[in-house]
Amino acid sequence: MIPTEWFLVLSAILFAIGVCGVLTRRNGITIFMSIELMINAVNLTFVAYARLFGDLHGVMFVFFIMAIAAAEAAVGLAIFISLFHHRASIDVDEANLMHW
């Protein structure tokens, strides 16, 4: 049986990689994928604690988070498609949509 600490360490590593991706990249899709990686790291933590305590509340949270992440992915990709259509780039530094 794999110890819970290993899952938590893996989750922390995935979350750190996601944070580095958000802070260092300028491409919108890469930032978006890094945010999804951070969400999955949190899901792994919920599942690890649900397994540790033998409670299903963590797994229920994961299902709700996955549903919200799917909706976020659809809306986020639609925003990136619109941004690329209007600006011909998805560089977040050039995305000054508030300035008409």
CA separation for the pair 61, 47 (Å, rounded): 9
Q: Look up the CATH architecture of domain 4-87.
A: Orthogonal Bundle (1.10)
The rounded mean pLDDT for the chain is 88
Angle at 20 between CA 51 and CA 40, to 5 degrees: 25
pTM tops 0.85: no
CA separation for the pair 10, 3 (Å, rounded): 12
| pLDDT tens for each residue of 17-61 | 999 999 998 888 898 899 999 999 999 999 999 999 988 888 999
The domain segmentation of the chain, as residue ranges, is 4-87
